[in-house]
């Protein structure tokens, strides 16, 4: 049986033909089905048929066109007291355009995906899909092991009271299941270690996440990547640390705090203004400097902290100018691309002195 699935915006859909980023699910396929999928996905038919051999061992096979991860999954044969827990191969084959699973039996591991019961499942996210399959596989092992443990206790209790061989045979069957499971789990462990060691999880085209140089690293000349547009910078459609990427959201948050009179405008304006003027004079793309790194986040939400910054108006301006000056010094001439956090910490040290020399003198008072 061959089925094609694709994660659309409205949810998982079953298709009649494969497409890019789809999941091809083969359950006990015939020769013609294997040949058809082989032609559609450019994978050798022998690779697709590997999981149909009950004696196949767990392994990883890497080729220019595909990567095959073959593991042994738990399954049950027979019914009720005659149940025998054993293992069968399941292969996961990833190509540039799709992911293929092949198994000789319909298994609850794959049914959880095809029935739409798996959360955060996307056919195009191959590495996540593989990890979810391996997680389901381990969960099924644990479920069956609990059942085996419970049945063993029941059989042992009956065996103490019985003189017949029926319970003894049942106990031997359960022990045989444990042998199957332990052998399969040892092989699967070796496959998982190799998978993590060789970096195969990161070779596919569609990643779950992307890492790259930040805007400040590019501005500092330590990366050849292109700068994002100013609009993307303002809207946060770029890389960066959590909470610092979207200039629009940060400015809206600052406006809310100003309207509620939670913070004063003097420190953020002095901080951001100093960075803008200095980088403009130095020819360091001031607009990018303003919206890069943690400048907006630090100026609006960190440099306005009550307990570590001056309480006087003049002190707040001096504090903001000092933060901006140190930030530019570190960004332009320092080893680190970012200097906002350092500048705030350094100016926090000077806060008592700024506070002391900016306090207004009482009328008729004398200098201390």
Q: Is the pLDDT of residue 32 over 60?
A: yes
Q: Which two tokens stand for residue 301?
A: 């939400």
The mean of the pLDDT values for the chain is: 80
Helix residue ranges per DSSP H, 92-125: 108-114
Q: Is the pLDDT of residue 124 over 70?
A: yes
Q: Which two tokens stand for residue 133?
A: 């399959």
Strand locations in the chain (E): 2-8, 11-15, 22-27, 59-62, 66-77, 84-95, 98-103
Helix (DSSP H) and strand (DSSP E) numbers for the chain: 13, 7
Q: pLDDT tens for residues 159-178?
A: 656 655 565 556 556 565 66
284 vs 117, higher pLDDT: 284
CA-based R_g, the chain, Å: 32
| 204 — pLDDT class (breaks 50, 70, 90) | very low
Q: What is the pLDDT of residue 205?
A: 45
For the entire predicted model, the pTM comes to 0.48
Burial of 17 (0-12, 13-18, 19+ CB in 10 A): exposed
Q: What is the pLDDT of residue 229?
A: 86
Q: What is the pLDDT of residue 306?
A: 84
| 322 — pLDDT class (breaks 50, 70, 90) | very high
Mean pLDDT of 128-141: 81
- Structural domains of the chain ordered from first start: 2-202 (3.30.460.20), 215-358 (no CATH)
């Amino acid at each position: 049986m061959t089925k094609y699935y694709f994660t659309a915006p409205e949810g998982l859909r079953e298709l009649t033909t494969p497409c890019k980023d789809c999941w091809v699910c083969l359950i006990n396929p015939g020769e013609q089905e294997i040949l058809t999928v082989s032609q559609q996905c450019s994978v050798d038919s022998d690779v697709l048929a590997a999981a149909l051999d009950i004696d196949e061992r767990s392994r990883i096979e890497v080729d220019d066109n595909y990567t095959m991860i073959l593991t042994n999954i738990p399954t049950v044969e027979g019914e009720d007291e005659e149940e025998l827990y054993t293992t069968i191969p399941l292969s996961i084959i990833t190509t540039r355009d799709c992911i293929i699973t092949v198994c000789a039996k319909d298994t609850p591991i794959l049914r959880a995906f095809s029935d739409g019961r798996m959360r955060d499942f996307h056919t195009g996210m191959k590495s996540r899909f593989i990890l979810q399959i391996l997680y389901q596989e381990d969960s099924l092992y644990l479920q069956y092991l609990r059942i085996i443990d419970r049945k063993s206790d029941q059989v042992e209790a009956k065996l103490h009271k019985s003189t017949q061989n029926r319970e003894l045979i049942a106990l031997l069957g359960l022990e045989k299941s444990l042998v199957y499971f332990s052998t399969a789990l040892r092989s699967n462990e070796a496959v998982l270690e190799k998978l993590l060691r060789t970096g195969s999880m990161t070779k596919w085209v569609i990643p779950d996440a992307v890492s790259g140089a930040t805007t400040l690293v590019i501005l500092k000349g330590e990366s050849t990547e292109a700068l994002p547009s100013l609009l993307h910078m303002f809207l946060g459609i770029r890389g960066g640390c959590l909470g610092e990427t979207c200039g629009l959201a940060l400015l809206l948050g600052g406006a809310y705090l100003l309207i509620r009179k939670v913070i004063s405008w003097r420190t953020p304006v002095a901080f951001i203004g100093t960075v803008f003027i200095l980088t403009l004079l130095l020819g360091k793309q001031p607009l990018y400097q303003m919206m890069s790194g943690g400048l907006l986040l630090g100026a609006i939400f960190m440099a306005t902290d009550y307990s570590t910054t001056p309480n006087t108006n003049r002190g707040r301006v001096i504090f903001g100018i000092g933060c901006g000056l140190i930030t530019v010094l570190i960004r332009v001439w320092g080893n680190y691309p970012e200097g906002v956090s350092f500048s705030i910490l350094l100016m926090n040290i000077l806060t008592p002195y700024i506070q002391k020399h900016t306090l207004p003198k009482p009328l008729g008072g004398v200098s201390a």
